[in-house]
Amino acid sequence: MVGAYFSGRTCGLAAEPLAGTGARIIRLLLESGSVSEGLAGDISQWAVRLSEINRERNGLVERMRIEHLDANLLLSRLAVEGRAGYVDIDPFGSPVRFLENGFRATERRGLLGVSATDLAALSGSSRRTAYWKYGLTLVKTNFYKETAIRALAGFAVMTASRLSLGAEPVLSIAYRHFVRVFLRVERGKRRAYHARSQVRYLIHCKYCLNTSVMSDVSEWREKCGICGNPNTLIGPVWTGLLHDKGLVERILNSRHASDPTYSEAIKIVKTVAEEVDDIPWSFQLSEVSRRARTSPPKTKHVIERLKEVGYRASPTHYDPSAVKTDAPLDVLTKIVKELVRS
């Protein structure tokens, strides 16, 4: 990912303030082909010692610095002494308390990678935690992993905009127990405003699954326009593009694409390349089929049929039985029934 992003130019410094054993920085230095220098930091003296051992074993004493320091202090120092081209924030749990300093420490046109493992909050399962920790109003939906991705991306973009920075996702993944978003960082109020304007609310009906983007608060309706049941509010979340398709292509055309070591990651990126990522929701075919009182058809057949009748549709990387489409639910339900009958 980092090698593809910095393709054709050099990343002078890659920094990981929560480095643990230093494995990620070491791999970036050895495998990316674009990182000149690495900085690994950790507040644990045992982690620092392990990083030092791993640095020596990999012959990186001249290219890798190690700091025994709190992550926020390390990032704050970078912001003053010299920013990094790539900053990686990968905590256990929520990244909230590291994000602001992470953006400060990232140079112009640099890349910030951020992970979160508190999926209960980000997916809407724990609404109270989502509210007090992220300031978001989230509910559990059948596209909860999509919600988790867009909630983290939206929170990161809002954090950056407060610093007059424009941050936009270039690759966003939900996998197993975590969400990971990579953001391009640009400086300037205009870019900050443009990015922030794509953080909006979703209106969702849990009864008929109707979902739409609310561009302005005047669009809020208490009752669903389709079934008349109460609507729920989700957000603010990122509603723009989740992936830079050019970057995805560079990843798939890189020398790592044929390496068995990266086979699982490349498989995910291949699905990402097919995604319609400007639709901030998806439909689980098992749920649609349950409502239609039939068995679920194959995902690829549903996608093919939706495209035939003029709608956009794609699989999702986070759920093999889900479909992203701009087709209304009644059309999707009708297609599911037809495919099962045939």
Which pTM does this prediction carry?
0.96
Q: Report the C-alpha gap between 72 and 136 in whole angstroms.
A: 23
Q: What is the pLDDT of residue 3?
A: 92
Displacement of CA 32 from its chain's centroid (Å): 21
Q: Provide the pLDDT confidence category of residue 270 given band limits of 50, 70 and 90.
A: very high
> For residue 202, what are the β-bridge partners?
213, 234
152, 237 Cβ separation under 8 angstroms? no
199-204 sheet: strands from edge to edge: 211-214, 199-204, 232-238
Structure tokens at 97: 């308390």
- β-pairing verdict for 84-89 and 283-284: unpaired
Q: Report the C-alpha gap between 279 and 232 in whole angstroms.
A: 18
Query: Looking at the domain 70-274, which fold is it?
Result: Rossmann fold (3.40.50)
Q: What is the pLDDT of residue 216?
A: 82
Structure tokens at 241: 């593009």
Half-sphere exposure of 321 (CA within 13 A, CB side): 11
For the stretch 271-293, pLDDT in tens is 999 999 999 999 999 999 999 89
Q: Report the C-alpha gap between 269 and 263 in whole angstroms.
A: 10
Q: Taking Cα atoms as reference points, which of 141, 159, 65, 144 lies closest to residue 103?
A: 159
Residues of the chain with CATH 3.30.56.70: 283-341
From first CA to last CA, the distance across the chain in angstroms is 43
CATH number, span 283-341 = 3.30.56.70
Backbone angles phi, psi at 210, to 5 degrees: -65, 130
Q: Work out the widest C-alpha separation in the chain, in whole angstroms.
A: 66
* Amino acid type, 315: P
Q: What is the pLDDT of residue 298?
A: 95
For the segment 84-105, the average pLDDT, to the nearest whole number, is 97
113, 170 Cβ separation under 8 angstroms? no
Q: What is the pLDDT of residue 87?
A: 98
Q: Provide the pLDDT confidence category of residue 204 given band limits of 50, 70 and 90.
A: very high
Residues of the chain with CATH 3.40.50.150: 70-274
Q: Provide the pLDDT confidence category of residue 312 given band limits of 50, 70 and 90.
A: very high
Half-sphere exposure of 227 (CA within 13 A, CB side): 14
Backbone angles phi, psi at 40, to 5 degrees: -115, 130
Please give the residue that has the higher pLDDT: either 18 or 342: 18
For the segment 249-260, the average pLDDT, to the nearest whole number, is 92
Q: Report the C-alpha gap between 70 and 17 in whole angstroms.
A: 8
Question: Is 106 a residue whose pLDDT tops 90?
Answer: yes
Q: Provide the pLDDT confidence category of residue 219 given band limits of 50, 70 and 90.
A: confident
For the segment 34-49, the average pLDDT, to the nearest whole number, is 97
Share of the chain above pLDDT 70, in %: 100
Kindly compute the dihedral angle of the four CA atoms of residues 282, 153, 23, 84, in this order, to the nearest 10 degrees. Answer: 150
Residues sharing a CB contact under 8 Å with residue 278, sequence separation 6 or more, in sequence order = 240, 241
Q: Provide the pLDDT confidence category of residue 8 given band limits of 50, 70 and 90.
A: confident
Q: What is the pLDDT of residue 342?
A: 78
Structure tokens at 31: 């495998």
Q: What is the pLDDT of residue 341?
A: 86
